[in-house]
Chain A
Amino acid sequence: MYIRVIAMCLGVPGRIVELKEGFRALVDFGGIRREVDVSLLPGVKVGDYVIIHAGAAISKVSEEDALITLKLWKEIAEVMGYGKRGSSNISSR
């Protein structure tokens, strides 16, 4: 088997485990570690979760916001999909 590889996909959040010289940081992706460019995220700290795109951290990830989104849509799904009132609202339009 010969696989040419170089890249990592974007969109996977990693955790900053160590800040390094020259705008770089060591990031942990569920046990796999890689050095990335953090020059686009001034003030990033060890322990922050960040989105990595093409070798650079482009944004922090907020767990709090993730939980808010989950909670909101769980509720919407319950109310609209299962509550009698919710479904009649939709069909009456």
Chain B
Amino acid sequence: MGEVLDRFRDRALILKLAKLIKGLAKGLDKIRIMHVCGTHEHTITHYGLRHLMPPNVKLIAGPGCPVCIVPAREVDEAVKLALSGVTVYTYGDMYKVPGSKMSLAQARAKGGKVKVVYGFDDVLRKRVKEDSVFFAVGFETTAPTVASPLYEGRVPEVIKLLTSYRLTVPVLRYVLSLKASPIRGVICPGHVSAITGASAWEYVVKDFKIPAVIAGFEPLDVMIAVTEILKQLREGKARLVNEYSRVVSYEGNLRAKQYLKEVFEVVDGKWRGIGLVPLSKLKLKDEFSTWDARLYFEDKLRDIGEGDDIKPGCKCAEVILGIMEPKDCPMFMRACTPSKPLGPCMVSSEGTCHIWAKYGYLG
């Protein structure tokens, strides 16, 4: 298997596709292709794939970083709990994301109890004895890893959940629905799709007539997705293509979807940098309120303010939505730099502004 998967890094084939992409893009207007997955952004930047794109093909990182879009208020909740002596477990990525005043990493430096784990299973295996909190962030992919043990009665009552789950399927619909949306093609997230199934993205093609490709995370996967999208644009068609069929099925992971349905209800949710998105957030159902950190620690969390999501003048929202490029933001590289970031897009290493700041000089 390893040998087969290595072929998804085949330099010769990737360079052939790069040539093909240049040919397909010739004569077309500016084509903005959006992906909504932090790991796709990682593949694109790590392998330097933007360098292989013609100037009129732009790969845009949409709201695909599940930690950057957690509202500051929810980070503040976790920080408050950590500083008040409750142990807060969370993922490495969440650890560095700033709230209104500080990140969990900074809270830890101030004596807050913060522990980084790889997954919820690590917390379960720790045999926690005292009240503690798991800061449960993520998308459709991550939520089932908590829903399953919770539903199966494997979560001790001392482990409370501070949930900040968001859903990528509705947020992409929201982004594409915006009047100003310039998006001409979509690379759908591979591992979200492993759970939701390819079927979840049919609306992109049906309702928006935009080519959509579910892609894996090797450089060849991304190159294939871009080629396929340009091919469809050339042909004036819009189809949903599952390039990642080695992992993603049409109907998805039914067991995981069932767990999600049993444990959570879908409600409207706020996204940092975007605002309120209809039916895009998972909330623990009443049957599981015993584990709800917001109820259990109500006293400690009472005086948490609205939260400081976006500094005045910051154009993160427009950048995440693909309406604006970082260079069009008046703060970019002036008041807002990677070492002194103002907005969430500059904070996260997967944020578009951060990437532009680092990669801009390649021209």
Direct touch of chains A and B (CB < 8 A): yes
Q: Are A7 and B117 in contact (CB under 8 A)?
A: yes
- Residues of A near B117 (CB, < 8 A) are 6-7, 55
Complex partner residue of B144 from A23, A56, A90, CB under 8 angstroms = A56
A46 at the interface (CB under 8 A from B): no
Count residues of A near B (Cβ-Cβ below 8 Å). Answer: 49
B275 at the interface (CB under 8 A from A): no
B91 at the interface (CB under 8 A from A): yes
The complex places the Cα of A78 from the Cα of B12 at a distance, in Å, of 11
B243 at the interface (CB under 8 A from A): yes
Q: Are A55 and B17 in contact (CB under 8 A)?
A: no
B109 at the interface (CB under 8 A from A): no
B5 at the interface (CB under 8 A from A): yes
Complex partner residue of A4 from B116, B195, B235, CB under 8 angstroms = B116
- Residues of A near B245 (CB, < 8 A) are 62, 65, 68-69
Q: Are B119 and A54 in contact (CB under 8 A)?
A: yes
Please encode chain B, from 38 to 50, with 1 for each CB lying within 8 Å of some chain A CB and 0 for all others: 0100000000000
Contact-residue size bin, chain B (C-beta under 8 Å from the other chain): 35 or more
Known pairs A13-B1, A22-B154, A70-B7; A56 contacts B148 (CB<8 A): yes
Please report whether the interface of chain B is mostly helix, strand, loop or mixed according to DSSP. helix
Q: Are A56 and B119 in contact (CB under 8 A)?
A: yes
- Residues of B near A13 (CB, < 8 A) are 1, 5
- Residues of B near A6 (CB, < 8 A) are 92, 115-118, 122
Please encode chain A, from 30 to 65, with 1 for each CB lying within 8 Å of some chain B CB and 0 for all others: 100001110111100000010101111011111101
**Which A residue's beta carbon lies closest to that of B125?**
A35
Known pairs A51-B191, A81-B23; A8 contacts B118 (CB<8 A): yes
The complex places the Cα of A11 from the Cα of B154 at a distance, in Å, of 25
The complex places the Cα of A15 from the Cα of B1 at a distance, in Å, of 9
The complex places the Cα of A22 from the Cα of B149 at a distance, in Å, of 10
Q: Are B23 and A90 in contact (CB under 8 A)?
A: yes
CB interface residues, B 134-156, toward A, < 8 Å: 138, 141-142, 144-145, 148-149, 152, 154
The complex places the Cα of A91 from the Cα of B92 at a distance, in Å, of 48
20 A-B pairs with CB atoms under 8 Å apart are: A7-B117, A11-B191, A13-B1, A22-B154, A36-B121, A37-B119, A37-B121, A37-B149, A40-B144, A54-B142, A54-B145, A56-B121, A58-B144, A61-B1, A62-B245, A68-B245, A70-B4, A70-B7, A73-B17, A81-B16
Which B positions have Cβ atoms within 8 angstroms of A?
1-2, 4-5, 7-8, 13, 16-17, 19-20, 23-24, 26, 39, 91-92, 115-122, 138, 141-142, 144-145, 148-149, 152, 154, 190-191, 194-195, 217, 220, 224, 227, 234-235, 243, 245-248, 253, 255-256, 259
| Ranked 10 nearest A-B pairs via Cβ | A55-B119, A7-B118, A59-B194, A65-B246, A54-B119, A56-B145, A55-B121, A66-B246, A77-B16, A37-B121
